[in-house]
């Protein structure tokens, strides 16, 4: 699936819920299915700066595709990072860099997060793109 298709799928899934409490519950469920980061990658270098809670993000290049794993010590944040990983993992660095993140606004995520969580969300997206930049040189 392309990044756009995955993002459309996510928007569709979240639109099924009228209530934001239901959306938070769904995010928590998504967080439970997050590809687990190996313990050896839960290091300070993989912590996302700007997040209120601890979020570790690791990426590897596998056959030209970036594969992300992550974890967080907070259940909502874990759900947020799982949404981002679902949208961007197993894609090429250039696809990740060229992808927009409008789906975040379409879901209504930023407006329903506390300012510190919204900042953390921006930091997560930034780190996902930074990994893609780093791997792009290895692909070309």
**Would residue 101 show up in a list of annotated catalytic residues for this protein?**
no
Q: Is 20 helix (H, G, I), strand (E, B) or coil?
A: helix
Give the long-range contacts of residues 105-108, CB within 8 A, separation 24 or more.
106/11, 107/10, 107/11, 107/14, 107/23, 107/83, 108/14, 108/20, 108/23
Q: Is 30 helix (H, G, I), strand (E, B) or coil?
A: helix
Q: Which of 48, 51, 84, 87 is catalytic?
A: 51
CA distance 77 to 27: 9
Distant-in-sequence, close-in-space partners of 51: CB < 8 Å, separation ≥ 6: 72, 77, 119, 120, 123, 124
Tell me how long the chain is: 140
Q: Write out the catalytic residue numbers.
A: 51
């Amino acid at each position: 699936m392309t990044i756009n298709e995955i993002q459309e799928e996510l928007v569709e899934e979240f639109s099924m819920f009228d209530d934001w409490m239901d959306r938070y519950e769904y995010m928590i469920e998504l967080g439970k299915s997050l590809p687990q980061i190996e313990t050896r990658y839960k290091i300070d270098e993989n912590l996302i700066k700007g997040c209120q809670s601890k979020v570790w993000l690791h990426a590897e290049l596998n056959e030209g595709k970036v594969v992300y794993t992550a974890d967080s010590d907070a259940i909502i944040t874990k759900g947020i990072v799982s949404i981002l990983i679902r949208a961007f993992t197993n894609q090429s660095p250039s696809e990740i860099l060229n992808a927009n993140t409008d789906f975040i606004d379409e879901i209504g995520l930023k407006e329903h997060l506390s300012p510190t969580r919204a900042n953390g969300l921006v930091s997560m997206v930034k780190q996902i793109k930074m990994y893609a930049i780093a791997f792009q040189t290895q692909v070309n």
